Amino acid sequence: MSNKQQENERPPIFSNNPSNILPQKLTLDSKLKFRCHPGVSCFTACCGNINIILTPYDILRIRRALNLPAEEFLLRYTTPTYLEKTDLPGVKIMLDEEGRCPFVTPEGCTIYPYRPTTCRYYPVGMSYFREAPEKKDEKALAEEFYFLVKEEHCKGHLEDKIQTIQEWRVDQGIDESDLMNKEWMELVMRRKSFGYQATLSEPAKRIFFLASTDLDKFRDLVFSDAFLSSYEFDEETLQKLREDDIELMSFAFRFLAATIFGIRDSGLKVREERLQQKMEQIKKDRAGAEKRAQETYQELLQDHEKLKKQVGAKKSTGPGKGSAC
């Protein structure tokens, strides 16, 4: 069986597979009986044949630890994918020839302090509940809840350590990951709530992918003449975006919120002159469309009149209408 077939047969950690996910909604105070360590017989078994989706902060944190620019990290260690139940493009860890995470050895994870958010959560899953798009309040927060993933191979559930979900989050350093990823996850969940009835344009997908995966190229975009002539920035903000990756990442989320998802309170300010240009262009486009529609209508009328004349001519020269012999 190929690695791809194995990967497809085993669902992602956060999937809705009923054989792995216990049908119980958990809270931060819920108890968790679990411990993973090199002494368990299944140690690192969960690191193979699995989809490890990377968030923007995962990418930044790991590539910093490896001292790699974004493009090189993406080429060497990831493969493109779509985020679950959306048309939003992202990346996941590219497994090795044996279907294993490339950062895992028999001794454990070689990037453990910088491991992805998905790995930190396991065997706990987190999800959000949002109301349907036509019902939801634009400013209402999505309800957050947890669930337990229990796979047959995992022996960590047989260990004696008991702690709350909140204690587990602290122990695994999840709070930092969630704080950094929060705005981005809100966008993903917003998109997921719409389902597949509305698709993003290809340019929108490209800008989402760029802002979510490659901060180096996104910074180049931000400091391009076209971008700076379109949006207003003070010098302090520009300095932060130039030097601070976290500030740039946060700005990327706000930029996506405003430009792709139409969220008005994103804080992104378009230059007044650019707004005027846009409005003028919209007026021109609208006037042009109306003119083309009128021209098309007149052409249809002319064609209709021609057709009437042709039909009339055929009738006048039809059987019994011709000249006598």
Q: How confident is the model at residue 254 (pLDDT cuts 50, 70, 90)?
A: very high
- Is 50 within 8 Å of 10 (Cβ atoms)? yes
Kind and range of the H or E element at 146? strand 143-148
Q: For residues 210 and 221, what is the distance between their CA atoms, to the nearest angstrom?
A: 10
Round the average pLDDT of the chain to a whole number and report it.
82
Domain locations in the chain as residue ranges = 3-50+95-182
Q: Which residues, in sequence order, are CB contacts of 54 under 8 Å at separation 6+?
A: 62, 78, 90, 91, 92, 93, 116, 213
Q: How confident is the model at residue 317 (pLDDT cuts 50, 70, 90)?
A: low
For residues 42-59, give the mean pLDDT: 94
Q: Please choose, from the candidates 90, 43, 58, the residue with its C-alpha nearest in 3D space to the C-alpha of residue 210.
A: 90
For residues 64-72, give the mean pLDDT: 97
Instruction: State the chain's maximal CA–CA distance in angstroms.
Output: 114
| pLDDT computed for residue 158 by the predictor | 94
Question: Dihedrals φ, ψ of 135, to 5°?
Answer: -110, -25
Kind and range of the H or E element at 56? helix 56-66
Answer with the residue of higher pLDDT: 153 or 263.
153
Q: Please choose, from the candidates 151, 121, 143, the residue with its C-alpha nearest in 3D space to the C-alpha of residue 20.
A: 151
Q: For residues 62 and 112, what is the distance between their CA atoms, to the nearest angstrom?
A: 10
pTM of the full structure: 0.75
> CA-CA distances (angstroms) from residue 59 to 14, 185, 245?
19, 15, 12
| pLDDT computed for residue 198 by the predictor | 74
119-129 exposure pattern, b = at least 16 Cβ within 10 A, e = fewer: bbbbbbbbebe
